[in-house]
Amino acid sequence: MKRVYAKEEVCAGCRLCEIWCVVAHSKSKNIIKAFNEEFPRPLPRVKVEEFGPFSFALQCRHCKEPPCIEACMTGAMHRETPDGPVLHDPDKCVGCWMCIMVCPYGAIARDETEKKIASKCDLCQGEEEPACVAHCPNEALVFEDRGE
């Protein structure tokens, strides 16, 4: 399946991926409204990890055998097709955060803005490419199928 891959050697650490992720998951899809008028504001599902000059954007890897799906007791964390993205159903989520405990990448975040739930990348379902990839000014994120 197509996944988002980071090229850390050209990541400028600007965090525009995080910003556009918020916009993509906002109600208005308008960057100024999303940030200045929508409260609570959605969390970014991609996070730029930094260590000195080293940086890259990390989001759910959509593992082949996802520990989060196995650990989820309500079925909130699920796959719709065997090789589709790992998705999260907020209505089923009870906020036990077992997924966060088992995720080897630390790609799931706690969302306590409304009901206590998990927050993760959905690869911008329905869009041609995820917002983080589309808006990376340095093409440090690519969306491609590497046969993994």
Partner 1 sequence: MRFSYIEPEFLIERDLERCIRCQVCVRQCAFEAHIYDEASDVVTADSNKCVGCLRCVTMCPTDALIVRPNPTSFKENANWTGRIIKNIYKQAETGGVLLTGMGNDRPYPIYWDHMVLNASQVTNPSIDPLREPMELKTYLGRKPERLDVTLKDGKVSLNTKLAPQLELRMPVLFSALSYGAISFNASKALASAAYEFGTYYNTGEGGLHRDLYQYGERTIVQCASGRFGVHKDYLQAGAAIEIKIGQGAKPGIGGHLPGEKVSSEVSKTRMIPEGSDALSPAPHHDIYSIEDLRQLIYALKEATRYEKPVSVKIAAVHNSAAIASGMVRAGADIIALDGIRGGTGAAPTTIRDNVGIPIELAIASVDQRLREEGIRHQASIIAAGGFRSSSDVVKAIALGADAVYIGTSALVAMGCHLCQICYTGKCNWGIATQDPYLEKRLNPDIAKERLMNLLRAWEHEIKEMLGGMGINAIESLRGNRLHLRGVGLTDSELEILGILPAGR
Residue 7 vs 61, nearer CB to partner 1:
7
- Our CA angle for 100, 116, 55, nearest 5°, is 45
Task: Give least dist CB 51 to partner 1, A.
Answer: 12
Residue 52 vs 82, nearer CB to partner 1:
52
Task: Give least dist CB 105 to partner 1, A.
Answer: 22
Specify whether the CB–CB gap between 80 and 32 falls below 8 A. Answer: no
Cα-trace Rg, the chain: 15
- What contacts 81, CB < 8 A, 6 or more positions away? none
Give the binding site for partner 1 (CB under 8 A): 7, 9-16, 19-20, 31-32, 34-36, 52-53, 55, 135, 137-140
Residue 139 vs 145, nearer CB to partner 1:
139
Task: Give least dist CB 110 to partner 1, A.
Answer: 21
Specify whether the CB–CB gap between 22 and 51 falls below 8 A. Answer: no
For the chain, the residue count is: 148
Residue 55 vs 119, nearer CB to partner 1:
55
Task: Give least dist CB 130 to partner 1, A.
Answer: 16
